[in-house]
Chains A and B, each alone.
Chain A
Amino acid sequence: MLEIKNLKASIEDKEILHGLSLQVRPGEVHAIMGPNGSGKSTLARVLAGSDDYEVTGGEITLDGEDIIDLEPDERAQRGIFMAFQYPVEIPGVSNTYFLRTALNSVRKARGEEELSGGDFLKLAREKAKLVDLDPDLMKRSLNVGFSGGEKKRNEIFQMAVLDPRIAILDETDSGLDIDALRVVADGVNKLRNEDRMIIVVTHYQRLLNYIIPDHVHVLVGGQIAKSGDKSLAEELEATGYTELEREVRNAATANT
């Protein structure tokens, strides 16, 4: 289980998350929605261990272990995976070589044997089918010259290979046309199982027609303003975030 309690996080001394709490149980899919600047991506990146952010308060535990002081690679080795909103292009590092290195680090940490080149390729080919990834892309430099859709598919492909305990998808849908969105969502759905936790961070309700969440949370001003089931997403689609933002502002004024 992932437990976030009263999490506060800042970037360059500016607090973005003001005491956020969230519980994700095995097998659940949670959607985090919210307007721009509400702290959605901050939450995703803080969970992945980005050192752009400073955690100034609260707790994050994964299956009971406090992870706040863990490095990004140590988190990945414990099964935390974040699909990047903007996957980084790295010329000269081949997709395959990189992913094999990553998988073997993760396997080593789990006490499993490292995979040989041949076994890895077999696994990679099988997982590439999940997101219909062109095998040629695996040989190329990491994300270099990939289209927006290919980059996002590559993220889900990496997720499939690394087989994480918890996956955080940071606006994986933004910028995708409906065909690409379907492929990506299909891939994620195939990776749903009773143990895996998934957090889908998104600005748009559309993705949630394809990845049906168990819980929906709306983030406003660095806090969860409202939680509910998938009907909350539909409600928001109708009303937009403005109404909710006004409510939060009014509540804040009433409190002072």
Chain B
Amino acid sequence: MTNMMTQTNTFASLADSVREARAWSEPAWFLERRGRGARHFAELGFPSQKLEDWKYTNIKPVAEAEYQVPGDEASVSAGVLAEFEYGDLDAHRFVFVNGVFQPALSHLDKLPKGVTASTLREALTTDNETFRKYFGAQADIEKHHLTALNAALVQDGFFLAVAPNTVVEKPFHLLFLTTSDAEPAIANLHNVIVLGTSAQATILETHGAAQTHRYLKNIVTEIDAAPNAHLDRYVVQRESVENGWHISSEYVHQGRDSNVRSHSLDFGGDIVRHNIWAKLDGEAAEAVLNGLYMLRGNQHVDNFMWVEHTKENIPSHELFKGILDEHASAAFTGRIYVHKEAQKTDAKQTNQNLLLSDTARANTRPQLEIYADDVKCTHGATIGQLDEQALFYLRSRGVDPIQARNLLIHAFACDITERIRIPQVLDKAEELLTAQLGESK
């Protein structure tokens, strides 16, 4: 009880500082939602490991930290920014530092007609109708702890609306950085992505820290893909390995024949949790969720997803592969829920882990809940080590042990990396993987 009081008090002062930092006025409906988020979070608090869904992730350090909201004035240098870029990739760029948009570091090229790309604050001040309709439509602030916290404290975010039959060729690169002398810092962001019928877009997210400091990044994303819409998403998570806490909660709603491909690439973070709740709500709506994580030290990454099939002929594919060294740990929970109307479901779920040390750990829980009788659902999980015979084969040809090991690890990861359709992102992923491995013995 004492704990709860402390948490609530800290939280109340946090909410105050977010309000104080707000030089812009928020509409009544938004303020009202903030209030509801605050009330729900006061009841829910941070999740504990006693909850089945949080069994494998101890977020006690995250829950017990006394956060400070950094002021809006922080920024980062061009040099830091360059570290998080992708070669010569040509993209619209939105940079957020400590949860606040940085116009000077961002650029938005000419967009096709019918496309709105802005910040959350701008969407609020212009009272964008699409934004009002979709913001908060899926995010569950009553049940989801971190989503409630986010609702109360949200600072900014990215908003994209693409009109029907409109294709945005150039990717949007969303760069979320933190930097602060006040720690532990907290940043709360909320992104909304709305694709009209047959619309198409690509979004690349990068997460990281510009300096060494303790922080929590709590980010909520809502995606609505109308019939036949196509979205490609890449989330490159490079938070501070020792000090970065990252929790994402994503809500996806897909109409018939839509296709959402999501790739998460986790190299950073001390404690990381990704939640995905996807509702495949139209015939042949297809969801592809891919993930790769390469962790070392005491890093922990937990991928939790819930994919719901509500109509006929829906394919969903989840492939998560992890490489764990030293004391790193990972968890995977993939729940596929097939409604009784969802005949001819084709669901496949795979989680494979490669342990490079005796002290690395992986917990994996693929789960199927099926109420339809004509479905094809498969799931599989493996936890293993590098193949000794393969290592011997490579070494017998002259390849030194580190190179041999790296070859095998890149080969293990290539099921995921080869699905990356942006060459510059693929190159970066390979580079980050090598860098994470490089320090290994």
Please report A residues at the B interface, Cβ cutoff 8 Å.
48-51, 71-73, 75-77, 81-82, 84, 87-88, 90-93, 97-99, 101-103, 105-106, 109, 141, 158, 162
Q: Given A51, A90, A102, which contacts B398 in the complex, CB threshold below 8 Å?
A: A102
Q: How far is the CB of A51 from chain B (nearest CB, A)?
A: 8
Interface-central residue, A82, A98, A99, A158, by most chain B CB under 10 Å: A98
Given contacts A91-B411, A92-B410, A92-B415, contact A102 B399 (CB under 8 A): yes
Cβ–Cβ contact B411 & A73, under 8 A? no
Cβ–Cβ contact B396 & A48, under 8 A? yes
Contacts of A105 in B (CB 8 A): 398-400, 403
Cβ–Cβ contact B400 & A73, under 8 A? yes
Q: How far is the CB of B212 from chain A (nearest CB, A)?
A: 35
Q: How far is the CB of A114 from chain B (nearest CB, A)?
A: 12
Contacts of A162 in B (CB 8 A): 397-398
Bound: A71/B413 CA distance, A: 27
- CB-contacts of B389-420 with A (<8 A): 389-390, 392-401, 403-404, 407-408, 410-415
Q: Given A51, A77, A87, A103, which contacts B393 in the complex, CB threshold below 8 Å?
A: A87
Cβ–Cβ contact A99 & B397, under 8 A? yes
Cβ–Cβ contact A93 & B408, under 8 A? yes
Cβ–Cβ contact A73 & B395, under 8 A? yes
State the interface size on chain B (CB cutoff 8 A).
Answer: 23
Q: How far is the CB of A149 from chain B (nearest CB, A)?
A: 19
Cβ–Cβ contact A101 & B399, under 8 A? yes
Cβ contacts A to B, 7 pairs, < 8 Å: A50-B396, A76-B397, A87-B393, A93-B394, A101-B407, A102-B397, A102-B399
Contacts of A71 in B (CB 8 A): 395, 401
Contacts of A103 in B (CB 8 A): 398
**Residue in A closest to B412 when the chains form the complex, CB atoms:** A92
Q: Given A48, A102, A106, which contacts B394 in the complex, CB threshold below 8 Å?
A: A102
- CB-contacts of B353-392 with A (<8 A): 387, 389-390, 392
User: In the complex, how many residue pairs between chain A and chain B have their CB atoms under 8 Å apart?
Assistant: 79
**Residue in B closest to A97 when the chains form the complex, CB atoms:** B407
The 6 closest A-B pairs by CB, nearest first: A92-B411, A76-B398, A102-B397, A72-B395, A88-B393, A105-B398
Main secondary structure of the interface of B (DSSP, over half): helix
Given contacts A92-B412, A101-B403, contact A50 B398 (CB under 8 A): no
Bound: A50/B399 CA distance, A: 14
**Residue in A closest to B415 when the chains form the complex, CB atoms:** A92
Bound: A49/B413 CA distance, A: 28
Given contacts A50-B392, A84-B393, A92-B415, contact A98 B407 (CB under 8 A): yes
Q: How far is the CB of A195 from chain B (nearest CB, A)?
A: 19
**Residue in B closest to A106 when the chains form the complex, CB atoms:** B398
Cβ–Cβ contact A98 & B394, under 8 A? yes
Given contacts A73-B399, A98-B407, 12 further A-B contacts (CB under 8 A): A48-B396, A71-B395, A72-B396, A73-B397, A75-B396, A81-B397, A88-B392, A92-B415, A93-B411, A101-B403, A102-B397, A141-B411
Main secondary structure of the interface of A (DSSP, over half): helix
Contacts of B392 in A (CB 8 A): 50-51, 72, 88
Bound: A106/B395 CA distance, A: 11
Bound: A48/B394 CA distance, A: 12
Contacts of A77 in B (CB 8 A): 398
**Residue in B closest to A99 when the chains form the complex, CB atoms:** B397
Bound: A91/B393 CA distance, A: 13
Bound: A101/B397 CA distance, A: 9
Q: Given B389, B390, B396, B403, which contacts A82 in the complex, CB threshold below 8 Å?
A: B396
Q: How far is the CB of B261 from chain A (nearest CB, A)?
A: 21
Cβ–Cβ contact A73 & B389, under 8 A? no
Bound: A2/B401 CA distance, A: 25
Cβ–Cβ contact A90 & B397, under 8 A? no
Q: How far is the CB of B349 from chain A (nearest CB, A)?
A: 20
Q: How far is the CB of A154 from chain B (nearest CB, A)?
A: 12
Contacts of B407 in A (CB 8 A): 93, 97-98, 101
Bound: A158/B397 CA distance, A: 8
Cβ–Cβ contact B395 & A76, under 8 A? yes
Bound: A141/B395 CA distance, A: 17
Contacts of B413 in A (CB 8 A): 92
**Residue in B closest to A87 when the chains form the complex, CB atoms:** B393
Q: How far is the CB of B417 from chain A (nearest CB, A)?
A: 9
Bound: A73/B410 CA distance, A: 20
Q: How far is the CB of A8 from chain B (nearest CB, A)?
A: 21
**Residue in A closest to B394 when the chains form the complex, CB atoms:** A98
Q: Given B389, B399, B400, which contacts A98 in the complex, CB threshold below 8 Å?
A: B399
**Residue in B closest to A72 when the chains form the complex, CB atoms:** B395
**Residue in B closest to A107 when the chains form the complex, CB atoms:** B398
Contacts of B404 in A (CB 8 A): 73
Bound: A105/B403 CA distance, A: 10
**Residue in A closest to B406 when the chains form the complex, CB atoms:** A101
Cβ–Cβ contact A90 & B395, under 8 A? no
Contacts of B400 in A (CB 8 A): 73, 105
Bound: A252/B19 CA distance, A: 94
Q: How far is the CB of B402 from chain A (nearest CB, A)?
A: 10
Q: How far is the CB of A45 from chain B (nearest CB, A)?
A: 9
Interface-central residue, A75, A93, A109, by most chain B CB under 10 Å: A93
Q: How far is the CB of B37 from chain A (nearest CB, A)?
A: 45
Bound: A53/B389 CA distance, A: 13
Given contacts A88-B390, A88-B393, A92-B415, contact A73 B398 (CB under 8 A): yes
Contacts of A106 in B (CB 8 A): 397-398
Cβ–Cβ contact A49 & B393, under 8 A? no
Contacts of B410 in A (CB 8 A): 92-93
Contacts of B403 in A (CB 8 A): 101, 105
Interface-central residue, B387, B394, B401, by most chain A CB under 10 Å: B394
**Residue in B closest to A50 when the chains form the complex, CB atoms:** B392
Interface-central residue, B395, B404, B408, by most chain A CB under 10 Å: B395
**Residue in B closest to A89 when the chains form the complex, CB atoms:** B390
Bound: A141/B390 CA distance, A: 13
Bound: A23/B413 CA distance, A: 45
Interface-central residue, B407, B413, B415, by most chain A CB under 10 Å: B407
Interface-central residue, B397, B408, B411, by most chain A CB under 10 Å: B397
Q: Given A76, A90, A158, which contacts B390 in the complex, CB threshold below 8 Å?
A: A90
